[in-house]
Amino acid sequence: MSEAQLSSGLRRGTLEFCVLAMVERDDVYGTEIVRRLGEERSLTTTEGTIYPMLSRLRRVGWLASKWSESPSGPPRRYYSLTDEGRAALGRFRVEWLSFRQTVDRLVGTGEA
């Protein structure tokens, strides 16, 4: 397995929860999400990945969106976390902590 394949596999199951966490406190528009993820080397992604994900998260009821005028250019769609999204993110955090601790213990990267 190549480094790119490993990174992609790890990212696949967690990226949407990273996005939910990004909009937890402030409304954020799609391009800003892509930019912020790009600042994290292991989470760099494209608009072609993020926009379908944002649509899917809206369809399942975890995100809401609204259009707002932009100071520079066309209006932007801002995303915010719904109550259902907040609950899903909370469940993920609990599961992630347990999962991460187990993996750390098994692969030898955590405390003994």
Nearest residue to 66 via CA among 52, 80, 54: 80
pLDDT tens digits, 28-43: 999 999 999 989 887 8
Rounded CA-CA distance 17/31 in Å is 17
Terminal CA-CA length for the chain: 27
3-state helix, strand, coil in the chain (%, to 5): 60, 10, 25
pLDDT tens digits, 9-26: 666 778 999 999 999 999
pTM of the complete model: 0.84
- Which of 3.30.1360.120, 1.10.10.10, 2.30.42.10, 3.30.450.20 is the CATH number of 3-107? 1.10.10.10
